[in-house]
Amino acid sequence: MQIGFSMTRTCISTPLFVAAAALFVQLTACATVSPVPPDQSLKPLSDLARTLGGVGTVEVSVESGQRRGEYGCTLLYEVYRPARTETRAMVILAHGFMRDLTSMRGWAAHWASYGVPVTVVSMCNSRWFNGHHERNASDLVALAGALHSGPLLYAGFSAGGLAAYLAAAQDPRTSAYLGLDSVDSGKLALSAAEGFSVPGLFLLGEPSACNADSNILETIVATPNCTALRVRRATHCHFENPYDPRCERICGWVQSEEASEVLMETIRVLATAWILVQTQEHPLARRVLETAASDNGQLEGRIEVLR
């Protein structure tokens, strides 16, 4: 099950609305609070690691556009272009189930500020009871081909991580993949794992209904050449950027606010380090990734290595 929240008005029939409302109420009742005990407080990251959590030095411009998808609906997208490009690659970024590109703008702007072009897409095929993840993947590949002639790094959050994984597996120009608390659905990702040949990083939160109890783990085991890191105590909500407090109603939250900020910064550092390592020579980013799970590393105690 992949949970999300629509940012736009959608007309649906009364029975579907009632069913969706019932599901929302049930999930809201399951939202949990994860307190961080005072004796286990999350200390701020080291200054070295935090460098990647802050905004880069490159100015960024944004271009908006739209394109007819492979199945007839209209894709909206934004291209975040750095004034100084440090790579031939472009990141193609996908949002979560029933969300839109506004929920991923923070990631796009952040990575572009380090010289990496990013296209974030509002996928148009998903419906409340049918995600059409394969269609979304086809649209991502087609859009990437229309916008960029070089290597591609596919990235996505939740069900967008599934669409991005499927796209990465089928697009021969793919250079790497990043999953932000990705989920699988109907074993689509697992079925595609055999053909997945590029480096991949899966960043995961704690298992919950919102990430389908980390059902992407089966795919991770089957995926060659991948790394999987769990950010301890992180909820599904922490992997969107910008953070949306409304997500807490269903997926839970972490106390205190300071601890939640440290978790988001940890995810931001790891994701940015991966993007930079895969798109350009960046010694600091490589060092952060290599030491992320080390007892003496910059992210001590925050990471569980799953693979």
Structurally, the chain folds into a number of domains equal to: 1
Query: What does DSSP assign to residue 281?
Result: -
- Quick check: is 204 in a domain? yes
Residue numbers of the domain that contains 261: 44-305
Residue 175 and residue 201 in contact, taking contact as beta carbons nearer than 8 Å: no
- Quick check: is 125 in a domain? yes
For residue 148, the one-letter residue type is H
- Quick check: is 237 in a domain? yes
- Quick check: is 199 in a domain? yes
CA 197 to chain centre: 20
- Quick check: is 74 in a domain? yes
- Quick check: is 28 in a domain? no
Please calculate the CA angle 228-155-269 and round it to the nearest 5 degrees. 60
CATH no. for residue 230? 3.40.50.1820
- Quick check: is 7 in a domain? no
Tell me the pLDDT of the chain (307 aa) as tens digits.
343 433 333 333 444 343 444 344 344 334 555 554 544 556 666 676 778 999 999 999 999 999 999 999 999 999 999 999 999 999 999 998 878 899 999 999 999 999 999 999 999 987 777 778 999 999 999 999 999 999 999 999 999 999 999 999 999 999 999 999 999 999 999 999 998 999 999 999 999 999 999 999 999 999 999 999 999 999 999 999 999 999 988 898 887 788 889 899 999 999 999 999 999 989 999 988 988 866 555 566 788 999 8
Distance CA 206, CA 229 (A): 11
3-state SS class at 179: strand
- Quick check: is 188 in a domain? yes
